[in-house]
Amino acid sequence: MPPPKSNVWIYFEKVGPTSAKCKICFQTFKTSGNTSNLAKHLQSKHSNIINKSEKVKASHRWWSSFFKNNKCLDNRPINIVEGVGFKRLIKELAPLYKVPSRETFKKLMDTKYEVIANLYKTKFSEISHFSVTCDVWSEMMSCRSFLGVTVHFIEDRKLTSVSIDLSELSERHTSDYISTQLLEILNRWNIDLEKVEAVVTDGGTNMLKAISDSFLKIKHVPCFAHLVNLVVEHSLENEETKSLLNKVRSIVKWAKNSVIVSDELRKRQLNKGTASGNLKKLILDVSTRWNSVFYMLERFVELSSLVSEILLSKPHAPAMLTAVEILQVKEVICLLRPLEYITREASGEEYITISKIIPMLACVSNQLDMINLDLPLADNLKSKIKTELKKRFSKIEYNHAIAVATLLDPRFKNLHFQEPLAASKVVSYLREQLKQEYREISSGSDSESNSQDSSFDFWNYHKKLAHSSGSTKRRRLENDHLQDELSIYLANPVANLKSNPLEQWEEMKTLFPLLYKQAMNYGPNHRPDVRVICKIVEKFEREFTLHDTKLPTRRRNARTQDNIAAVRASVVENANVSVNRRSQELGLTRMTTWRILRRFRPTALQDCSTQELKPLDRHKRRLFADWALDKLENDGDFLKK
């Protein structure tokens, strides 16, 4: 006899071919080949038990979803469900809930990930501007390396960050390989490359080259905290400073390696009236984090009197610092404190940091100048820090993304710019952007006036005069309006330092509507003239040809003309094929196929269309676009030539 399939048989037991007995009230009912009678009996006599069972199932689903969400939020391991303490806790909270096994929980997590990933892919397709942070890090236990990618965007006037991928790197960390991996990740998450306004990485040569290959070089923003780390590391390389740090480090290591010394340090603090919850211990620095040196020195000075007493009572203890050396440590702490602050401030995730870089550097320079030092060691360190800051940040005001973000931050504007040329370049860029926005707004009225009927019009002469006069006045009004909007914004006092720049711009939205659009972008817009892009894209979509573009001089053997032609033919035949499948069909490596496919993107076309189009030469780019359109009006085959 096949096993019963209906849930009704949970409460009934077969007693014959056509009869069943209720397990609750022990009554017997005829089945007649179906379970209708049994279901009616349960609904009429035992409905309370049925409803309770349904509630238990709903409760089970709720608890499973609850644990999945909390495990992700707290980064808990999956094997937490196997812990005895966890099971006891769940039994007290939800006695009827059965904790799923580890394998079941993994499947539930995979399903949850797919759902959340699809939601974010849909959301990303609707976001207009992104910035991307990527970094390569190594897992030392298994000797594996990964590429982590995080995207940042503004949503509902709030800065949002989403870690979208952690991809294992199985090859050498060359710029080509990193570039390919990064583009694949962004493509997989429906992030259009044209929407990426800035990419933040460390200063590694391979990362710089990868960003230059994937995006425009001007979109790269160096990691500020990483550069500050290099400033301090190189400043502390002085032999006299290193000797002082090593002396402090040896005492800290000796104290941390001895349980007796650690216990004695705690007892001495308790004897001085320190509460048990406020007891402190010495801190040992970490080589990869410079600010740990600052914390080590700060804590050592704080506990120096107690440490000195302990060292004097131990015959084999390392030598304690002299009074002069402790004074040197205090002066070093004074020099490092401003750098520690900007490192911590630049590491925030819930507020905008790019617009703080230029102001923080100006404040650091001022803080260092105000510090009065008595000892030559600290004075030499101060000079070294200022030299390193100048070496690594002297051109920071010429970084387009950082400069624009600073000028558009109501808290700073152009207050901290030290280079007049850098400030004037940003102002000129914003004026050009505002003019373009203004033309797009006013183009609607022009298109309406040009769409008049071409039949007999007695007032045609008057309309021509009016249009000519109106165009002149409109140009004058445009310049006056743009001049006023940007000038008034810069003339207004800066906002409170603790205010949120996004909220400030929402309040100023009606006063500066064109600047508001640029501020919400919070970065440069390096796309060439829209008309040029449209013409190139239309030509590509119509003919699928690349004969008017120049291949780079540095070409790999795999990217021959035959392979390029094969990939082009494959795209024409079917454009909706993944890179992996296309590479298998053509017999090429995945990386070679991807690099050739990059030549088919509009971005590649617009970059290669002419050598005269430089990313920053907007005047020449505009002249070229006007010249090309004039040629097109007289010669329809101009693009083919």
Element (H, E) at 31: none
pLDDT at 629: 62
Element (H, E) at 44: helix 36-45
Task: Report the chain's mean pLDDT, rounded to a whole number.
Answer: 76
Residue type (1 letter), 536: I
pLDDT digits 0-9 by tens, 410-468: 999 889 998 889 888 888 888 888 877 777 666 554 544 454 444 566 677 666 666 56
Q: Taking Cα atoms as reference points, which of 621, 558, 615 lies closest to residue 590?
A: 558
Quote the tokens at residue 65: 């979803």
pLDDT at 205: 85
Residue 410 CB burial class (10 angstroms; 0-12, 13-18, ≥19): buried
pLDDT at 235: 92
pLDDT at 529: 35
Tokens 């032999």 belong to which residue? Answer: 239
pLDDT at 341: 92
pLDDT at 64: 63
Beta bridge partners of 93: none
C-beta atoms surrounding 402 within 10 Å: 24
127-222 to CATH, choices 1.10.287.950, 3.30.420.40, 3.30.310.80, 3.50.30.40: 3.30.420.40
Element (H, E) at 218: none
pLDDT at 558: 56
Residues 6 or more apart whose Cβ sits within 8 Å of residue 133: 149, 150, 151, 152, 199, 200, 201
* Local structure of 29: helix, strand or coil: strand
pLDDT at 616: 46
The residues of the chain scoring below 50 in pLDDT are: 1, 4, 52-58, 445, 447-449, 451-454, 473, 477, 523-557, 601-616
Element (H, E) at 120: helix 102-126
Alpha-carbon distances of 395 from 160, 203, 357, 421, 592, rounded to whole Å: 29, 14, 12, 11, 37
d(CA 357, CA 403): 9
pLDDT at 145: 84
pTM exceeds cut of 0.85: no
* Backbone angle region of 413, left / alpha / beta, with phi > 0 → left and psi within -120 to 50 → alpha: left
pLDDT at 301: 93
Tokens 């009074």 belong to which residue? Answer: 323
pLDDT at 384: 94
pLDDT at 297: 94
Residues 9/11/17/18 CA torsion (nearest 10 deg): -110
